[in-house]
Amino acid sequence: MNNLRLFRTSIVGIGAHGEDGGEESASRMTCHTGLVPVNARCAAVLAGTALAGIGLDQATKVLVVATREGKPPIQLAGQILTIYVSRNSGAAFSFAPAATLLFTGVAVAAAVVIVMKASRLHSAGWAAALGLVLAGAVGNLCDRLLRAPGIGRGAVVDFIDLRHFADFNIADSCLTCGAVLIVVLSLRGVPMTDNKGASVPRPRPIGY
C-alpha cells in the first residue's frame, strides 16, 4: 500500500514538473516582438550629416546659379579647379544623361531604404556613411524634382570642374565620400546593426 502511494506521488510530481517545463519551454520559444530601441547617438549623427550635406549642396547651387550661370568660368588653384555652372540630366559626374527618370527613382529608393535602416544602426561610422549617401541622393533629387524641364526630369546643377575630370557638385562629393566610408567599414568588419536578441533559438523537444 505504501509503495502504491509513493508511486502515485511520483507520477503527480512528474506531471507538475512537466507542466512547469512546458511553460518554460514555451516562454523560451517566444520571440521578441517589441519595438527595436533607437540608438539616439547614431540617429543624430545620420540626421545631422544628411541635413548638413543637403543644406550645403542646395545653398551652393543657389549661389552659383544666381551669380555665375551664363558667365565665364573662374579658374582657381593654378587652373586645376574651375567654377563653371552646367546642367546635368544624368547621374553623378555627368554619367548617363539620358536616364534622368531612372536615376530619380533610384534616388528615392535609396533614401527610403536608408531611413528604414536608421532605427537599427549601432555604429556612428555607419551612421555618418549613410548620412553622406542620403545627403547626396536627396541633394540631387531636389534638383530633379524642382528644376527645369519638369518634375522628375530636372537637370542637376554642377559647378565644380577639376582638370581632366567630370563636372560635379557637393551632393556628388557626399555620395563618393559615403561610398568610400562604407567600403572602409566593411573591410574592417564594423557591423552596421546590433543583431543581439533578434531571435531566440527554438529548444529541442524533450526526449531528443
Encode 137-156: b = buried (16+ Cβ within 10 Å), e = exposed: bbbbbbbbbebeeeeeebbb
Q: Enumerate the active-site residues.
A: 158, 172
Which positions ≥6 away from 149 have C-beta within 8 Å?
155
> What is the rounded distance in angstroms from the CA atom of residue 58 to the CA atom of residue 62?
6
Please, what is the end-to-end C-alpha distance for the chain in angstroms? Answer: 35
**CA 180 to CA 186: how far, in whole Å?**
10
Return the number of other C-beta atoms located less than 10 Å from residue 62's C-beta.
Answer: 11
CB 175 within 8 A of CB 92: yes
